[in-house]
Amino acid sequence: MLLLVEDEELILVATQDALETGGFEVVTAQNGDDAIKLLDEHGERVAGVITDVRLGGGSSGWEVGRYARRAKADLPIVYTTGDSAAEWSAEGVPKSILVQKPYADAQLLTAISNLLNEASGTAA
């Protein structure tokens, strides 16, 4: 199961649809605080996180990524952003991927798939 965190409804729905069409089970949150609650509730089932960086009030996508990695050290994290790419090296977790908005569905599917493959390769 992937956790998708996006505060813009249209992007959330379109991205969820693309991920589900790509074969993934997806649970969604529209803000960082709800994402953290979902990680607490379903953390053992979450195989990867895709989060927008800027999520309005509350926890940012950077914070969601760090929280998720504290719970599961090798959890794949993909950040999406329209304007915060320059902050990734300082704010993003190691071995994450940043996908710049606007992105094609294939870019996002490739990013999360590559990280999931790497994580399963290191677990074996």
In terms of residue numbers, what domain contains 67? Answer: 2-123
Q: How far apart are the first and last CA of the chain?
A: 19
Q: CA-CA distance, 121 to 19, in Å (whole number)?
A: 22
pTM of this structure: 0.95
Q: What is the DSSP letter of 73?
A: T
Block means of pLDDT (10 residues each) for the chain, 124 residues, are 97 98 98 97 95 94 98 96 94 96 96 94 61
Total number of residues shown for the chain: 124
The domain that contains 115 carries what CATH number?
A: 3.40.50.2300
Does residue 94 have a cis bond before it (omega within 30 degrees)? no
Split into its structural domains, the chain has a count of 1
Using DSSP, state whether 117 is helix, strand or coil: helix
Q: Which helix (H) or strand (E) holds 52?
A: strand 48-52
